[in-house]
Amino acid sequence: MPVIELLWCDGTWAGRGGSPASEALRRSLNPSVKFTYVSYPGMFGPATGAHHMSAAESIEAGARTMAAAVHASRYPAIVGGYSQGAMVAYKFAREILPKRPELDVRAVAAMGNPHEPLHRGARGGIADRLTLPRKLLSVWAPGDPIADIHKDAPLRSAWDVAEFMSVRDQASALRWLDSIADAVTDGPSEWWRRPDFIASLIAARDYVWGTQHTTDYARHGHATRLARMIERAA
């Protein structure tokens, strides 16, 4: 009998759910937690398809859908997600939840979290480290280029640009160009002189070809570890 509902957004390319990492989490949970996928676009500009919305727009749409799912739930909720889905949970928790005191949200859960707090010295998520109004339950796989990257890696600057990458229409193209002007202050020649440039290249390679951000969460037990954390929070 469930006592809490985990409302979960999957990662890029899996807006309706079903990635190996998220499925490993779903299978690992005991019956006290009702697992529900929250559908959202899961897009990342041209990287996921012609005329797709940007990641920032996808995340914003997901946060609105998450709010509706929490409102409709018959149980206290934990909101969470994998990869881009974790960013949806963060946006909901930071920007919507404080304005909706009637929503019963106990924690935020994340796997492959772009906002992962610093750990192992100077490593963490590729995006900004953000505070939350609820407890964070989070796991990361060693070497995950999204959740376990050096804090000064140039790839983190590239993320600031890519988040708004969408050129499906003129307005989106202008927003994308504005984001480049705002986010990138060092030219490519400066990046070559930064000590972690090679680490960024390795991280980019691992995102495309590696398993650290994908099947490692199922294969090495990280999803199961998160399941136990969620059950204890219930």
Q: Are both 55 and 100 inside the same structural domain?
A: yes
Whether 7 shows a pLDDT value over 80: the answer reads yes
Give dist(CA 113, CA 169) in Å, integer.
Answer: 29
Let me know whether 93 and 134 are in one domain.
yes
pLDDT digits (tens, 9 = 90+) for 104-126: 999 999 999 999 999 988 899 98
Q: Give the pLDDT score at 13.
A: 83
Asked if 64 contacts 51 with a C-beta cutoff of 8 angstroms, the reply is no
Mark whether 49 and 85 lie in a shared domain: yes
Are 181 and 224 within one domain?
no
The stretch 80-105 carries a mean pLDDT of: 98
Question: What residues does 44 pair with on adjacent strands?
Answer: 46
Task: Give yes or no: residues 76 and 89 share one domain.
Answer: yes
Query: What's the DSSP call for residue 163?
Result: T
Let me know whether 66 and 174 are in one domain: no
The CATH number that applies at residue 58 is: 3.40.50.1820
* Statement to judge: residues 17 and 125 lie in one domain: yes
Range of the domain at 52: 4-150+211-233
Tell me the one-letter amino acid at 181: A
pLDDT tens profile 10-39: 998 888 999 999 999 999 999 999 999 999
* Domain total in the chain: 2
- Res 33: pLDDT: 98
Q: What does the chain come to in residues? A: 234
Q: Which two tokens stand for residue 50?
A: 């012609």
Based on the fold, state whether residues 11 and 62 are members of the same structural domain: yes
What does the pLDDT read at residue 74? 97
Claim to verify: residue 216 and residue 193 sit in the same structural domain:
no
Q: How does pLDDT run across 46-57, given as a tens digit for each residue? A: 666 777 888 889
Query: What's the rounded Cα separation, in Å, for the pair 181 and 200?
Result: 21
- Model confidence band, residue 43 (pLDDT cutoffs 50, 70, 90): confident
The pLDDT assigned to 203 comes to 58
Pairing relationship of beta strands 123-124 and 149-150 according to DSSP bridges: antiparallel
Kindly state whether residues 113 and 218 are assigned to the same domain: yes
The string of pLDDT tens digits covering residues 152-209 is: 776 676 666 556 444 445 565 556 556 545 554 444 444 444 545 555 555 555 555 6
d(C-alpha 14, C-alpha 38), whole Å: 11
Same domain, 8 and 32: yes
On whether both 182 and 164 belong to a single domain, the answer is yes
**Kind and range of the H or E element at 69?**
helix 55-72
